[in-house]
């Protein structure tokens, strides 16, 4: 079923999309883009421009600031629409369905490709308070110096997409990346549920999922040179086939960064505690770390 966001997008005219693009074009220079500049960039006649911006404000795709210099700025929903328009025009997404996830990193929607394949579209939301707290403690934040939270979201989407490509190349169990645009990351849909939402988890099933998680952390660390950095039961999908898939990678750190080992230990310790608590599966932290760091060939479970 099409989402409300999709319905908003498909209701827009070409004029309204043109105005959105005009505002986005200048947002690295202006927090609120002057009205005259937006109108000139859109190349619309005054009457059509006025109708378009009125609709965009009503739909909360843009905000207007009044004053000595009036101007417009995109909202996250406005950026959502531009990303969806790009993905649709490139033949990646045919329709955007229901929202299936909401977290500190963004909103996740189910989608369908023109060929009928099931996808997920993750729309990053870097301004969420919980993400701001995480960002202050991540060394990668030093590389992100954009002018707005919208730009931070774009940078994080690109960052996540590129690391997913590398992880997939090395055989990690992660969602297969399809495309990215602006703050949107498109991935192949993984049939399953979040590990946190699994109601019954016996020891055998838990062992299978944990092996997959530890193997993926091992591949990330030894072959790609990164640490997930925020692993929990909310970042693992238990598939319908009883396997584990590790999701949500934008906050990864490189293994040679000062706090990488501390974060790796935290990731492994946290996930081991979860399986011990939920399934009675006891695995020593030291042996799990040796395996993940490539110091032992045999998985500890």
Residues 238 and 211 both lie in one domain: yes
pLDDT tens, 184-224?
A: 999 999 999 999 999 889 999 999 999 999 999 999 999 99
| 301 falls within a domain | no
Average pLDDT over residues 101-110: 85
- Give percent of the chain with pLDDT exceeding 70: 92
Structure tokens at 24: 């986005």
Residues 173 and 95 both lie in one domain: yes
Residues 63 and 35 both lie in one domain: yes
Return the higher-pLDDT residue of 134 and 282.
282
Examine the residue annotation and report whether 80 is marked as an active-site residue of this protein. Answer: no
Residues 198 and 223 both lie in one domain: yes
Residues 197 and 267 both lie in one domain: yes
CA dihedral 35, 41, 47, 51 (to 10 degrees): -70
The predicted pLDDT at position 1 comes to: 58
Return the higher-pLDDT residue of 131 and 224.
224
Report how far Cα 264 is from the mean position of its chain's Cα atoms. Answer: 21
pLDDT tens, 83-96?
A: 999 999 999 999 99
| 30 falls within a domain | yes
Task: Give the model's confidence band at 146: pLDDT under 50 very low, under 70 low, under 90 confident, else very high.
Answer: very low
Average pLDDT over residues 133-138: 48
Structure tokens at 122: 């993750």
The owner of tokens 């000595």 is: 68
pLDDT tens, 64-86?
A: 999 888 999 999 999 999 999 99
The predicted pLDDT at position 101 comes to: 85
Residues 237 and 201 both lie in one domain: yes
The predicted pLDDT at position 138 comes to: 53
The answer on pLDDT for 250 being more than 80 is: yes
Residues 227 and 256 both lie in one domain: yes
| 39 falls within a domain | yes
CATH number at residue 155: 3.30.200.20
| 85 falls within a domain | no
Task: Give the model's confidence band at 2: pLDDT under 50 very low, under 70 low, under 90 confident, else very high.
Answer: low
The predicted pLDDT at position 147 comes to: 59
| 27 falls within a domain | yes
Candidates 99, 105, 80; CA nearest to 248 is 105
**Cβ atoms of 150 and 79 closer than 8 Å:** yes
**Cβ atoms of 259 and 252 closer than 8 Å:** no
**Cβ atoms of 159 and 140 closer than 8 Å:** yes
CA distance 296 to 291: 5
Average pLDDT over residues 25-51: 97
Q: How many domains does the chain have?
A: 3
Residues 147 and 214 both lie in one domain: no
| 268 falls within a domain | yes
Query: Which phi and psi (to 5°) does residue 138 adopt?
Result: -110, 130
| 158 falls within a domain | yes
The predicted pLDDT at position 68 comes to: 82
The predicted pLDDT at position 205 comes to: 95
Q: Mean pLDDT lowest for which of 35-39, 46-50, 130-134, 253-257?
A: 130-134
Kindly name the residue from 230, 248, 256, 267 that is annotated as catalytic.
230
Task: Choose the final residue of a domain: 51, 77, 103.
Answer: 77
CA distance 246 to 218: 12
Residues 173 and 200 both lie in one domain: no
Residues 197 and 183 both lie in one domain: no
The answer on pLDDT for 245 being more than 70 is: yes
**Cβ atoms of 134 and 87 closer than 8 Å:** no
The answer on pLDDT for 131 being more than 90 is: no
Neighbouring residues of 192: CB distance < 8 A, sequence distance ≥ 6: 237, 238, 239, 240, 245
Residues 53 and 117 both lie in one domain: no
Task: Give the model's confidence band at 18: pLDDT under 50 very low, under 70 low, under 90 confident, else very high.
Answer: very high
Which residue stretches of 59-101 are H helix? 76-89
**Cβ atoms of 186 and 176 closer than 8 Å:** no
Q: Mean pLDDT lowest for which of 79-88, 143-152, 242-251, 273-282?
A: 143-152
Task: Choose the final residue of a domain: 77, 105, 130.
Answer: 77
Range of the domain at 98: 90-188
Average pLDDT over residues 230-241: 96
Average pLDDT over residues 232-243: 96
CA distance 264 to 253: 10
């Amino acid at each position: 079923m099409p989402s409300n966001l999709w319905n908003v997008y498909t209701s827009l005219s070409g004029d309204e999309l043109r105005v959105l693009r005009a505002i986005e074009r200048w947002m690295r220079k202006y927090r609120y883009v002057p009205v005259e500049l937006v109108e000139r960039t859109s190349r619309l006649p005054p009457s059509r421009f006025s109708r378009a911006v009125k609709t965009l404000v009503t739909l909360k795709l843009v905000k207007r600031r009044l004053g000595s210099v009036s101007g417009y700025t995109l909202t996250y929903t406005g950026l959502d629409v531009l990303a969806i328009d790009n993905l649709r025009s490139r033949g990646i997404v045919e329709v955007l369905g229901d929202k299936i996830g909401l977290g500190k990193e963004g909103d996740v929607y189910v989608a369908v490709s023109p060929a009928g394949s099931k996808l997920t579209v993750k729309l990053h939301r870097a301004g969420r308070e919980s993400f701001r707290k995480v960002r202050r403690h991540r060394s990668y934040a030093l590389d992100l110096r954009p002018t707005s939270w919208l730009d931070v979201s774009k940078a994080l989407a690109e960052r996540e997409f590129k690391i997913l490509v590398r992880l997939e190349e090395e055989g990690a169990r992660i969602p297969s990346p399809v495309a990215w645009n602006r703050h949107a990351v498109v991935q192949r849909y993984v049939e399953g549920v979040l590990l946190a939402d699994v109601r019954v988890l016996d020891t055998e099933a838990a062992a299978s999922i944990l092996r997959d998680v530890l193997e993926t952390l091992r591949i990330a660390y030894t072959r790609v040179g990164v640490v997930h950095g925020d692993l929990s039961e909310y970042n693992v999908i238990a598939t319908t086939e009883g396997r584990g898939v590790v999701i949500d990678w934008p906050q990864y750190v490189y293994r040679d960064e000062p706090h990488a080992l501390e974060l790796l230990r935290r990731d492994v310790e946290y996930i081991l505690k979860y399986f011990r608590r939920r399934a009675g599966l006891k695995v020593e932290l030291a042996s799990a770390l040796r395996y993940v760091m490539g110091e032992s060939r045999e998985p500890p479970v």
